[in-house]
Amino acid sequence: MPSDVTYAPMASNRSYLVEAIHRWVSDHQYTPYLAVNANIEGVKVPVEHIDKNGRILLNISSKATRNLVFGRTAIEFDAAFPGVVYHLLIPVQAILAVFCHETGEGVIFEQIDDMDGVNQLLQTSATIPSASHNKQNSTKANL
């Protein structure tokens, strides 16, 4: 690379990775989930489903969401939480992890300072609302 050439900074790759993992998990007929830091500015989720550490797990499968859009700065979709449909907005910087519910495979982003807290959230039979059935699913995935 010539030293006199300047390059424009690249955008964050987080949105691209989230979309890729979502597709990979979905292509294998599994369930993609997001772990989200709900304390990040711009996050719009039902506050009653945020845990005591400010996190929320979201089922982002096609069965649980409607109008799912992967933007470069945010992901947005509609989902039902015990019968009430909400429009969710998740800035990409708020995404802690994207993973497969059934296997735990996925990507954990560097923002997670308290990995034990995320694993505890996953292992304590946290309930994740499903838009398709208006019921709650129990997660058993481990990161």
Q: How many other C-beta atoms lie within 10 A of the C-beta of residue 11?
A: 11
How does pLDDT run across 66-105, given as a tens digit for each residue?
999 999 999 999 999 998 999 999 999 999 999 999 999 9
Lowest mean pLDDT among 44-53, 62-71, 109-118: 109-118
Alpha-carbon span 53 to 133, nearest angstrom: 27
How does pLDDT run across 17-34, given as a tens digit for each residue?
999 999 999 999 999 999
106, 21 contact by CB (below 8 A): yes
Tokens of 91: 């800035």
Q: Of 24, 17, 25, nearest to 92 (Cα)?
A: 17
pLDDT of residue 139: 33
- What global pTM score does this model have? 0.75
